[in-house]
Amino acid sequence: MSPAFLLTKRTQQVKTHKGQVSFPGGMRHREGQFPACHGLRETEEEIGIPALVDVLGQFHDYRAITGQFGSFVRGVTASRIPPRLHSLECAVRIEVPFEFFRTFSAEDRAP
């Protein structure tokens, strides 16, 4: 099994970001809580990955087009976990191998 980025495509039933491709996760429900706590909880709810994720660190916060801030946490699992999608939130689970991003040369990138 090679390392991969895990993404989801959101359904048309969700309140925000309908049909968008995104990292799994969600809104923070308690202030002061480490971002990984709510991210792991939401990831388990959305795509069935239990909190068996080793958290490696956090990316810089990002402001979405909705004005909400996101705190992105990266982590790994010891093995591939079969998908179990929350039918109202996630339409598709997408795995993009790290190797995909290594195949682009400087000439392939948009100016």
pLDDT of residue 61: 77
The answer to whether the pTM exceeds 0.75 is no
Q: How far apart are CA 15 and CA 3, in angstroms?
A: 31
pLDDT at 91: 93
**Structure-token pair, residue 28:** 């923070």
Phi-psi region of 24 (alpha: psi -120 to 50; beta: other; left: phi over 0): beta
Whole-angstrom Cα distance, residue 2 to residue 100? 11
**Number of domain units in the chain:** 1
In this predicted structure, what is the pLDDT of residue 51? 64
What is the domain range of residue 19? 4-108
pLDDT at 15: 86
> pLDDT at position 100, please?
85
Give residue-wise pLDDT tens across range 95-107.
888 888 777 665 6
Q: Which residues of the chain have pLDDT under 50?
A: none
Q: What's 67's domain CATH number?
A: 3.90.79.10
pLDDT reported for residue 12: 95
